[in-house]
């Protein structure tokens, strides 16, 4: 099968490559670009572990062919930290609020939360729960993921974060 030429931006860097058309974006990122932060959890588009940000949308990269990303701008978890190398508000929120355990869903979860906060800077708990409903976590039970996102939203907005009482 004919290989396709693609050109795209990944974490601010221009990348050109020849890919077999059936190459899934997740494999392109993980194996050809060595960006192993995004993971494969379910293979069928239900778990969101492969989520990356593509042209201001949260996209499941194992449900996308690399050729479909031609011309796109992609952000992966590797491109999320602050320019000075410190953790972004979301990364810090997940750590402070214990929003992760095994870490396998975390890159996808953070990328999804990133887009959610871009669209809705001060989401309610219900909005957060629906907002991350395309991402499965098998470890945390979500309560602390919700808090992590609330923490990040507060930090970004400069508003005080009050951890909800049990």
Partner 1 sequence: MIPGAFDYHRPATIEDAVTLLASLGEEASILAGGHSLIPLMKTRLASPDHLVDLSGIGNLKGITVAGGDIVIGAMTTQFELIASEDLARHIPIIAETSRLIADPQIRYKGTFGGNVANGDPGNDMPALMMALGATYRVHGPDGGRDVAAREFYHGAYYTALEHGEILTSVRIPVPPAGHGYAYEKLKRKVGDYATAAAAVVITMAGGTCTSASIGLTNVSETPLWASEASALLVGTRLDKPSVDAALAAAEAITNPASDMRGPAEYRTKMAGIMLRRALERARSRTEA
Partner 2 sequence: MNDQTRIDQDRAERTEKLQGMGCKRKRVEDIRFTQGKGSYVDDLKLPGMLFGDFVRSPHAHARIKSIDTSRAKALPGVIAVLTAADLKPLGLHYMPTLAGDVQAVLAEEKVLFQNQEVAFVIAVDRYIASDATELVDVEYEALPCIVDPFKSMLPDAPILREDIQDKMTGAHGPRKHPNHIFEWMIGDKEATDAVFANADVTIKEMLVDHRTHPSPLETCQSVASFDKVKGELTLWGTFQAPHVIRTVVSLISGLPEHKIHVIAPDIGGGFGNKVGAYAGYVCSVVGSIVLGVPVKWVEDRMENLSTTSFARDYHMTTELAATKEGKILAMRVHVLADHGAFDACADPSKWPAGFMNICTGSYDIPVAHLAVDGVYTNKASGGVAYRCSFRVTEAVFAIERAVELLAHKLGMDAAELRIKNFIKAEQFPYQSALGWEYDSGDYHTAMKKAMDTIGYKELREEQARKREAFTRGETRELMGIGISFFTEIVGAGPAKNCDILGIAMFDSAEIRIHPTGSVIARMGTKSQGQGHETTYAQIIATEIGIPADDIMIEEGNTDTAPYGLGTYGSRSTPVAGAATAVAARKIKAKAQMIAAHMLEVHEGDLEWDVDRFRVKGLPEKFKTMKEIAWAAYNSPPPNMEPGLEAVNYYEPPNMTYPFGAYFCVMDIDVDTGVAKTRRFYALDDCGTRINPMIIEGQVHGGLTEAFACAMGQEIRYDEQGNVMGASFMDFFLPTAVETPHWETDHTVTPSPHHPIGAKGVGESPHVGGVPCFSNAVNDAYAFLGAGHIQMPHDAWRLWKVGEKLNLHQ
Q: Would strands 4-10 and 73-75 be described as parallel, antiparallel, or unpaired?
A: parallel
Select from 32, 79, 51, 66 the least CA-distant residue to 137: 51
Contacting range for partner 2; rule: CB under 8 A; set: 64-72, 79-87, 113-121, 154-162? 79-87
Binding-site residue total for partner 1 (CB under 8 A)? 30
Q: Give the position of tokens 């499941």.
A: 60
Closest contact distance (angstroms) between CB of 142 and partner 1 is 12
- 122 touches partner 2 (CB under 8 A): no
Round to whole Å and give the CA distance between 91 and 156: 12
Q: Which residues 8-47 are close enough to bind partner 2 by CB under 8 A?
A: 20, 22-23, 27, 30-31, 34-44, 46-47
Nearer Cβ to partner 2, position 15 or 143? 143
Site for partner 2 in 141-160 (CB under 8 A): 141-146
Shortest distance (Å) from residue 38 CB to partner 2: 7
Burial 12-28 (b: 16+ CB within 10 A, else e): eeebebebeeebbbbbb
């Amino acid at each position: 099968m004919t290989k396709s030429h693609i050109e795209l931006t990944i974490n601010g860097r221009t990348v050109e490559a020849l890919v077999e058309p059936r190459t899934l974006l997740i494999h392109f990122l993980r194996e050809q670009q060595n960006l192993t932060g995004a993971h494969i959890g379910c293979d069928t588009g239900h778990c969101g572990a492969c989520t990356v940000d593509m042209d201001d949308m949260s996209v499941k990269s194992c449900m996308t062919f690399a050729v479909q990303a031609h011309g796109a701008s992609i952000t992966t978890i590797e491109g999320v930290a602050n320019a000075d190398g410190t953790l972004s508000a979301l990364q810090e929120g997940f750590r402070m609020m214990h929003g992760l355990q095994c870490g396998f869903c975390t890159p996808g979860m953070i990328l999804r939360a990133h887009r959610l906060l871009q669209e809705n800077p001060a989401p309610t708990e219900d909005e957060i729960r629906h907002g991350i409903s395309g991402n499965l976590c098998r470890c945390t039970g979500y309560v602390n993921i919700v808090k992590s996102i609330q923490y990040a939203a507060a930090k970004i907005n400069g508003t005080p974060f009050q951890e909800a009482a049990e």
